[in-house]
Structures are given as structure tokens and as C-alpha cells.
């Protein structure tokens, strides 16, 4: 593995100020152990799975978050986990985008969606925040809704439950297995999106696990 990591570092051999990362992959969540494995942190979990697939780590601190470097299909990518807390995610994403001069259409955001069934994925190339405060803040900081995103379904909240309590809660045991599979699938979707484009990724992953 050390040789593989050295090859990745070789792609990033120039000074960071002179680099241009082709893609930023940002998984959204809240920092600290208190929020680990909650519904709102599925973006972090997908980034962790993706980092493992790419034989890298996300432990360098910058851009108000943790980040790591990797290569997907010959394209340099930055894996980013904002540490600003969810509602200020745009501060971290914008800082990384400005530093690497990455346009919004090459910023892929992975996050939880309460309107999708548990474990269901949906890829979009643009759209509104849909009530998600992390996406709302990213839109505000980027000044556009036109950036690709991978939504990971966490299921709808019970009728009388507060939304904040629901998304900050953890998955019951019977759903956790579905989510582990969804994290792997979302990581694969990121790779397909980068290597083959949004159209192919949407055809392959959208609607999977949807109810008939």
C-alpha cells in the first residue's frame, strides 16, 4: 500500500498553490463523537468508505475541515469532510474550491435525504436545498445551485417527531446493514460520476431500491 500512496503523492508533487484538483468530493456531517453514525452524518461515512477504496486517508486539516488526496480514473480529487457543523458546510467547501480553483460543476456533495427510503440513492446535477441546511449554506457560498450531488436516503421521520431529533439520531439495527451497503454504493457512484459522467451515473444508480 505504501507504494500506491507514493504514486498518489506523485500526482500531487507540485506545490499545492500551483495545483488544480479536478474534483472536490465533499461528504457532509457534524464533527465530534457525539454525532458519529447519526443519520445526518452519512456524508462522512461515504467519504470514509471512498477513502478506503482509494487507499488514502482523510486526516489532513485545512479548509475548516479534514481532507485527503486521491486519483479516480486519472483525475485528481480532494476528499473533504467539513468540520464547521452542518449548517456552515459551505464555508469549508468554498475555501477548498477557491484554493484549488475548482468550478461548482466539479464539486460533488454527498449528504442525507429524509425524502428517500433508507439506503436509496439519487444523483442530481443541480437543484434546490430541499430543506437541507448544509446544502442551503453551500448554495449560498458558491452562489449557484448547479453542482452535482449524491443523496443518500435515511427514511422519513415519524409524524410526531422533530426533524432535528430524527436526523441527529442513529439508525436502528435493522436499518444499519442497509446503510452500510448504501455507503459502498454511494462511494461507487462517486467513482462512476467522475470517470463516466453524470448521465451514466444517474442511469446506473437512480431509482435503485425505490419502491414499486
Evaluated on CA atoms 206, 123, 21, 31, the torsion sign reads: negative
CB crowding 98-108: b at 16 or more within 10 Å, else e? ebbebebebbb
Q: Is 35 annotated as a binding residue?
A: yes
**Do strands 107-113 and 23-27 pair parallel, antiparallel, or not at all (unpaired)?**
parallel
Task: Name the catalytic one among 13, 40, 132, 208.
Answer: 40
Active-site annotation holds for 13: no
Can you say how many angstroms the Cα of residue 5 is from the centroid of all Cα atoms in its chain? Answer: 22
Q: Is 87 annotated as a binding residue?
A: yes
Q: Report H helices in the chain.
A: 2-11, 42-53, 89-100, 133-142, 163-167, 173-196, 198-205
Query: Strand, coil or helix: what is 63?
Result: coil
Annotated binding-site residue numbers for tRNA: 35, 85, 87, 133
Annotated binding-site residue numbers: 35, 85, 87, 133
| Residue positions annotated with a catalytic role | 40
Amino acid at each position: 500500500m505504501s507504494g500506491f500512496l507514493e504514486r498518489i503523492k506523485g500526482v500531487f508533487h507540485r506545490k499545492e498553490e500551483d495545483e488544480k484538483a479536478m474534483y472536490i468530493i465533499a461528504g457532509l456531517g457534524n464533527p465530534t463523537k457525539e454525532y458519529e453514525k447519526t443519520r445526518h452524518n452519512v456524508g462522512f461515512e461515504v467519504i470514509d468508505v471512498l477513502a478506503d477504496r482509494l487507499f488514502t486517508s482523510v486526516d489532513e486539516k485545512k479548509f475548516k475541515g479534514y481532507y485527503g488526496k486521491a486519483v479516480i480514473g486519472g483525475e485528481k480529487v480532494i476528499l473533504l469532510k467539513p468540520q464547521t457543523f452542518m449548517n456552515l458546510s459551505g464555508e469549508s467547501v468554498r475555501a477548498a474550491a477557491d484554493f484549488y480553483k475548482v468550478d461548482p460543476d466539479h464539486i460533488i456533495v454527498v449528504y442525507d435525504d429524509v425524502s428517500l427510503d433508507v439506503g436509496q440513492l439519487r444523483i442530481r446535477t443541480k437543484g434546490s436545498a430541499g430543506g437541507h441546511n448544509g446544502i442551503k449554506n453551500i448554495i449560498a457560498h458558491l452562489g449557484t445551485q448547479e453542482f452535482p450531488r449524491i443523496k443518500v436516503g435515511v427514511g422519513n421521520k415519524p409524524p410526531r417527531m422533530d426533524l432535528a431529533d430524527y436526523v441527529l439520531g442513529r439508525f436502528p439495527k435493522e436499518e444499519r446493514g442497509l446503510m452500510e451497503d448504501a455507503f459502498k454504493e454511494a462511494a461507487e457512484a462517486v467513482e462512476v460520476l467522475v470517470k463516466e459522467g453524470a448521465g451514466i451515473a444517474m442511469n446506473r444508480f437512480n431509482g435503485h431500491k425505490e419502491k414499486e
